[in-house]
Amino acid sequence: MIVVEVLGRGGRVAERVRLQALPATIGRAYGNDVVLDDPYADATHARLGFDAQGRVVVEDLGSVNGLVAGEQGPRAGRLVLAPGAVFRVGHTLLRVASGDAAPAPAVKDSGGAGWTRAFRRPWVAGALTLAGAPLFGLAFYLGQTDKTGGAPYALDVLTSAAAVVLWAGVWALGTRIRGGRASFAAHLAVAWLVLGFALAVVVGEDWLRFFTSGTWVADAAAVAAVVAIVMVVVDSHLQVASSLSARARALIGAGITVALLGVAALAVSGTFADNQDDIVIDMPLKPVPARFVPTETPDAFLARAAKLQREVDQEADEQ
């Protein structure tokens, strides 16, 4: 038994035709075994059969547009079809499968089953928006040190909210195009949640720098946080948008993370290339009572500074 699969958009199977015996014909006319709805196909376009070795072959029956191996291959009068091979008739892609082949096991349905399931309820997105926007307003307010009044804060908050909505909209559009539902509310909820997480990371990292500056702790934490945020963003949006497995989502997230870290490393090396006249320090100041601040003696601090001479001497020697 042979099965002919008519492929639709995105390579998904639109129709399966089970053929009890070969030869069989393919074409636009209703008398064919495989009937195509394709104006570029002839009435009787091609014939499937076996060759002397028992392989499945397809032959052109003198059609206008011919037979094509794969989607973009050369035109051929006759093609030998290996199992799973794709060929094109008119604008239609076809694949021949053996009816005896064992089907793959069923894929476990994770779409909507992960932690993002709760986000499919629109009121969750609404609630997160109402909570998230003022949080950003507060963050902007605490970072402002001049007398600018309320309007700039409101503008900052609205701009960020618009950016979040746009971000969720792009994901929703992608989800819709790929064939599923748009799931805008779920994407919006994910965006706010991840941004809240990112805000917490930024604030936390700033405080960590205050307490640990001069060590690698805050840098390591920052890199770890960026990795976590990107992984979570990719994983949660893909959960909403697709039924990819957790493993596939993690792989995609890891790929994007590596790419982003690479770009960030390039940007950082570019930024600090011209630092003769500028001093860049990463230590913030925080309102902490003096007794809670870990300190060293001035002599210990200046002893640590001895390494600076080696650093700049080495740089001078390289020039």
Partner 1 sequence: MTLPRRPVVPLALAAVVVTATAAPALASLLGRLQHAGGGSAATEGTTPEVFRRFSGQVVKLQVSETRSAAKAEVGSAFFVSADGRLITNYHVVAELVLDPDRYRAELVDEAGDSAAVTVLAIDVVHDLAVVRTRLRPGRWFQLGAGGRIAQGLRLYSLGHPLDEGIAIVEGTYNGNLPHTLYPRIRFTGALNPGMSGGPAITVDGRVVGVNVSTAGEESSYLVPASRAADLLARTSAPGFTPARDLLAEAGRQIREYQEVYLRNLFTDTTESVTLGRWRLPTQPAEFFDCWADASEEDDQQPYREVDHTCSTNDDIFISADQSSGVIDFEHELLSSDELDRFRFHAMYTKEFHGNWDLDDVGPDEVTDFSCTTGRIRKDGLVFAAVFCVRRYLKLPGLYDAVLRLASIGDGHRGLLTTMTMSGVTFANAREMARRYIARIGPAR
Binding positions for partner 1, rule: CB under 8 A: 141-147, 210, 213-214, 272, 274-291, 293-302, 304-309, 311-313, 315-316, 319
Select 62 or 214, whichever has its Cβ closest to partner 1. 214
Taking the least distance from each CB to partner 1, the nearer of 100 and 317 is: 317
Closest CA to 165 of 119, 202, 129: 129
Phi then psi dihedrals of residue 57, to 5 deg: -130, 155
Closest approach of partner 1 to the CB of residue 310, in Å: 9
Nearer to partner 1, 266 or 302 (CB): 302
Nearer residue to partner 1 within complex by CB, 100 or 146: 146
Cβ-contact 282, 211 below 8 angstroms:
no
Q: CB of residue 291 vs partner 1: minimum separation in angstroms?
A: 8
Separation CA 84–CA 98 (nearest Å) = 9
Round to whole Å and give the CA distance between 33 and 44.
10
Given a contact cutoff of 8 angstroms between Cβ atoms, the answer to whether 129 and 188 are in contact is: yes
Please report, as a single letter, which amino acid is at residue 155.
L
User: Minimum distance between the CB of residue 122 and partner 1, rounded to whole angstroms?
Assistant: 35
- Determine the Cα–Cα distance for residues 204 and 199; give it in Å rounded to an integer: 8
Shortest spacing between CB 301 and partner 1, in angstroms: 5
CB of 69 to partner 1, least distance (A): 60
C-alpha dist (Å) from residue 202 to 198, 199, 205, 225, 269: 6, 5, 5, 9, 21
Contact 5, 95 (CB under 8 A): yes
Which residue's CB is nearer to partner 1, number 43 or number 293?
Answer: 293
The answer to whether 82 and 98 have CB atoms below 8 angstroms apart is no
Residue 133 beta carbon to partner 1: minimum distance, rounded to whole angstroms: 20
Q: Hey, what are 296's tokens?
A: 């060293």
Which of 102, 280 has the CB closer to partner 1? 280
**Three-class DSSP category at 134:** helix
Closer by beta carbon to partner 1, 40 or else 140:
140
Assign 291 to helix, strand or coil. Answer: helix
Residue with tokens 């809240």: 196
CB of 156 to partner 1, least distance (A): 14
Please state the closest distance from residue 316 (CB atom) to partner 1, in A. 5
Contact 178, 10 (CB under 8 A): yes
Q: Which is nearer to partner 1, 59 or 206 (CB)?
A: 206
